[in-house]
């Protein structure tokens, strides 16, 4: 039994690198003002980043606050998060895994957070309150 369970797998995702490049390219500080003599209208950039379609890979997940669940059981239960290939799938699988933790009575409440993980991947953090067992 453990308070914090963490698992890692190798990855090759580039979501955060791509998002950083996009943010730098579209930030107002990176745009050079041009003096045309006329009043320039400030229009927001029409570019958008569809993060749902970005290829990502979950490299790590952490379950914080679970003291009564065994690591191997958690790994089996939350393994589907590692199979997600897009950001949208990661969100979906993370929600499904949180629902499983609650449905099985392992956790009363579960919140899910996504963070930058090792090897340019995504880390999924499950913050849990122990269930009634």
Amino acid 100: pLDDT: 92
Specify whether the CB–CB gap between 51 and 122 falls below 8 A. no
Specify whether the CB–CB gap between 90 and 58 falls below 8 A. yes
The CATH number assigned to the domain with range 10-17+55-130 reads 3.10.20.310
Amino acid 14: pLDDT: 44
Q: Tokens standing for 26? A: 């579209």
Amino acid 7: pLDDT: 40
- pLDDT profile of the chain (133 residues), mean per 10: 44 45 50 48 60 84 87 87 90 93 91 90 91 69
Amino acid 24: pLDDT: 53
């Amino acid at each position: 039994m453990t308070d914090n369970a963490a698992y890692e797998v190798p990855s090759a995702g580039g979501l955060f690198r791509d998002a950083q490049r996009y943010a730098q390219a579209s930030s107002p500080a990176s745009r050079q003002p041009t003096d045309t003599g006329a009043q320039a209208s400030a229009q927001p950039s029409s570019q958008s980043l569809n993060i749902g379609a970005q290829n990502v890979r979950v490299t790590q997940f952490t379950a914080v606050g679970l003291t009564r669940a065994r690591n191997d059981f958690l790994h089996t239960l939350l393994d589907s998060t590692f199979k997600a290939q897009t950001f949208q799938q990661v969100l979906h699988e993370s929600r499904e895994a949180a629902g499983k933790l609650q449905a099985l009575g392992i956790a009363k409440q579960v919140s899910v957070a996504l963070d930058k993980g090792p090897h340019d991947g995504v880390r999924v953090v499950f913050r849990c309150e122990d269930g009634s067992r």
